[in-house]
């Protein structure tokens, strides 16, 4: 599945998230621990909003009726809206540059798995793409925090972030590494990854873009009874 083109991966995410959101009758009203101000319905509406935003940024107009319906509609209406606006953005992703969309949608699929107590299937086609986007994204902010270069190891890959030779190496369970780079791990949980040096110089850089570590854990680490899932 990792050979899927990016637009097919985004459609796959839309399909899996939609199936999860309709798998139980009361899912729409459930709170999302990783996004404490949201319900599942709000999470889905955000995915429509992001698809519409990206569509506009590429010089196109999202379907106005679908976008409006997603703002206040129930889960089934929001998902119908995502099928429309999401298909518009999937067509744009086919032209390249859609991996941040994939990373965002996967982050929220994992949020939803936490809500429902389920796990993604092994070999999820979005995992490596999302991991690469968020690790590189965070790496682009190391200099802003005066942090030295860092090597990240996960999913059988290595990333060298920042300028010069890495001053430390960080690794951990693939799932925990991904969630650490997307604002789903507290500073204490990030410290609990496998660091070759004191992680203090790098912790501020985990606040980047739309991501910031929560003050209290939204979910346990894999080794503490969290979601036991591996992409392979």
**Residue 144, Cβ density class (10 Å: 0-12 exposed, 13-18 middle, ≥19 buried):** exposed
33, 229, 119, 2: CA torsion to nearest 10 = 110
Separation between Cα atoms, residue 44 and residue 171, nearest integer Å: 31
Q: What is the CATH number of domain 127-217?
A: 3.30.1050
Per domain, the residue ranges of the chain are 6-116, 127-217
pTM: 0.94
Q: CB-based contacts of 206: which residues, under 8 Å, 6+ apart?
A: 138, 180, 181, 183, 185, 187, 190, 212, 213
CA distance 105 to 145: 28
- Of the candidates 95, 43, 48, the one whose C-alpha atom is nearest the C-alpha of residue 70 is 48
With tokens 């107009």, the residue in question is 61
Would you give per-residue pLDDT tens digits along the chain (232 residues)? 557 899 999 999 999 999 999 999 999 999 999 999 999 999 999 999 999 999 999 899 999 999 999 999 999 999 999 999 999 999 989 888 789 999 999 999 999 999 999 988 888 999 999 999 999 999 999 999 999 999 999 999 999 999 999 999 999 999 999 999 999 999 999 999 999 999 999 999 999 999 999 999 999 998 777 666 655 5
Residue 103: both structure tokens together: 């990373």
- Helix (H) / strand (E) element for 12: namely helix 6-21
The pLDDT value recorded for residue 232 is 52
């Amino acid at each position: 599945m990792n050979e899927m083109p990016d637009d097919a991966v985004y459609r796959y995410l839309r399909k899996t998230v939609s199936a999860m959101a309709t798998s139980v009758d009361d899912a729409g009203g459930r709170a999302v621990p990783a996004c404490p101000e949201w319900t599942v319905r709000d999470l889905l509406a955000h995915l429509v909003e992001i698809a519409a935003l990206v569509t506009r940024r590429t010089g196109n107009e999202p379907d106005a009726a679908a976008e409006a319906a997603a703002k206040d509609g129930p889960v089934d209406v929001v998902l119908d809206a995502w099928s429309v606006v999401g298909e518009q953005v999937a067509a744009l992703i086919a032209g390249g540059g859609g991996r941040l969309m994939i990373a965002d949608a996967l982050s929220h699929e994992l949020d939803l798995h936490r809500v429902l107590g389920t796990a993604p299937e092994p070999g999820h086609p979005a995992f490596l793409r999302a991991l690469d986007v968020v690790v590189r994204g965070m790496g682009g902010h190391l200099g802003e925090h005066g942090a030295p270069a860092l090597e990240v190891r996960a999913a059988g890959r290595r990333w060298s972030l920042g300028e010069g030779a890495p001053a430390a190496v960080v690794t951990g369970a693939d799932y925990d590494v991904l969630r650490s780079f997307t604002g789903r791990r507290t500073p204490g949980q990030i410290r609990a990854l496998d660091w070759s040096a004191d992680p203090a110089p790098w912790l501020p850089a985990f606040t980047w873009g739309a991501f910031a570590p929560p003050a209290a854990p939204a979910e346990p680490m894999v080794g503490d009874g969290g979601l036991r899932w591996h992409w392979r």
